A and B are shown apart, each in its own frame.
Chain A
């Protein structure tokens, strides 16, 4: 039996930051989608083909921005986890959960587009001794474990606390992933061509496409997190109205 909307649990949820449901897909989502579409068209049709690798090098314009989007999403998860542990604010926990799910999608894109590119250029789908590959796979497992852990814990406070600790530990991998090409001599990944102390070594047209792709995928990352957060808000409202606080 469902309780009335003015039930104690519903009032608690509403007072803890849940507001009236907002549209999941709005102008920001449309802007992000159109930006990504425009960048893909620019990358495929209006960006020069790399002399040695051919067209496969254009995977770079989705592979690297997706990796950076994953870093941002995992970073938000870790930051919100710290906020949750500090303030016990359910909004922070909800945002951490939303970002983690989006991070998993972005890392999956990185881990699938990379091998497609590598197969032709390196002659191998995967090499375990390339630490950037292995650490990125490790990060994927940590983010997946975070989501599975959250799904398996009924009590909301315990779910938030355990998840937060795992998320903070997982985010510590990011510097190692980025710096792995400097730290390990045995590697197939090239040294950074843009995110390095010196000037970017990409030709101007390629650099422009990359920077636009970075902006578009960052927008997409934020739009997906926002949409996923709003779903979580509605889900928690339903849970509160139905009167079973911690269950999913």
Chain B
């Protein structure tokens, strides 16, 4: 039997790097887009709060 352990390790490492790299890229994109969405939603909600009429004082 020929010794091909190095090839096996190389194959698994390369696959791991490719899948891992893709998951990392997904995480970065998810982080970026959710930050933008949060900023938009909080800006909108603060605009709505400032535009709302003052609450009536109860007696």
Contacts and interface: CB of A to CB of B under 8 A. Distances in A.
Interface of A: 2, 4-5, 21, 24-25, 36, 40, 44, 49, 51-59, 62-63, 66, 102, 105, 108-109, 112-113, 116-117, 119-121, 220, 224, 227-228, 230-231, 234-235, 237-238, 241-242
Contact of B8 (A4, A51, A55): A55
A56 B40 contact: no
B44 A4 contact: yes
Interface residues of B, number: 30
Interface in B19-35: 19, 22-23, 26-27, 29-30, 33-34
A184 to B, nearest CB: 25
Contacts of B1: 49, 51-52, 54
A107 to B, nearest CB: 10
Nearest to A230: B30
Contacts of A21: 34, 37
A231 B27 CA distance: 9
Given A4-B48, A25-B27, A112-B14, A224 B7 contact: no
Interface of B: 1-5, 7-8, 10-12, 14-15, 18-19, 22-23, 26-27, 29-30, 33-34, 36-37, 40-41, 43-44, 47-48
A25 B34 CA distance: 13
A224 B26 contact: yes
Contact of A116 (B11, B19, B34): B11
Contacts of B29: 231
Contacts of B27: 24-25
Contacts of B22: 102, 105, 224
A62 B15 contact: yes
A58 B9 CA distance: 9
A228 to B, nearest CB: 6
Contact of B7 (A44, A59, A220, A237): A59
B2 to A, nearest CB: 5
Contact of B33 (A49, A120, A235): A235
A56 B37 contact: no
